[in-house]
Amino acid sequence: MKKVLVIDDDAEILNLIRTRLQAHYEVILASDGETGLQKIPSEKPDLILLDIKMPQVDGFTFLRRFKRLDEIKRIPIIVLTAYVNMKDLFEAEGITDYILKPFDAAELLQKIASHLDAKEKT
């Protein structure tokens, strides 16, 4: 079963995503970027869902540190965000895709499946 690491400081969002995804994927949760970074080497997620605005290690800091890890920097990242006008910045940071909060569960599942399929083909 494919693994999805969800990094968000909002417990309700984490629980909602876990509930929506657990029938399809193994879901690993992290409530901040630092914890997410620590879980990557041992959990080896196939995809990461990342919130941008978090305390301590925010999403952009997570991305900068993540990019330094050669063995895992090819993991697709989908950003969960309320920031509508940041598409260019996300692309510049190497983010695979993004979805706006509040998100539609069907759209989220579709994006995850699409990026995991693309990853398998490379």
**CB of 56 within 8 A of CB of 78?**
no
Largest CA distance in the chain: 35
Q: Which stretch of 10-19, 76-85, 103-112 has the lowest confidence by average pLDDT? A: 76-85
The residue whose two tokens read 């305390």 is 55
- Predicted confidence band of residue 5 (pLDDT cuts 50, 70, 90): very high
CATH class of 3-121: alpha beta
What pLDDT, on the 0 to 100 scale, is given for residue 87?
66
Q: Which of 93, 100, 101, 95 is nearest to 115 (CA)?
A: 95
pLDDT in tens, 49-103: 999 888 777 787 888 887 777 666 678 999 888 776 766 677 667 777 888 888 8
Domain boundaries, the chain: 3-121
Distance of CA 19 to the CA centre of its chain: 16
pLDDT in tens, 25-55: 999 999 999 999 899 989 999 999 999 888 7
Residue type, 7: I
The residue whose two tokens read 């920097």 is 73
* pTM of the entire predicted model: 0.88
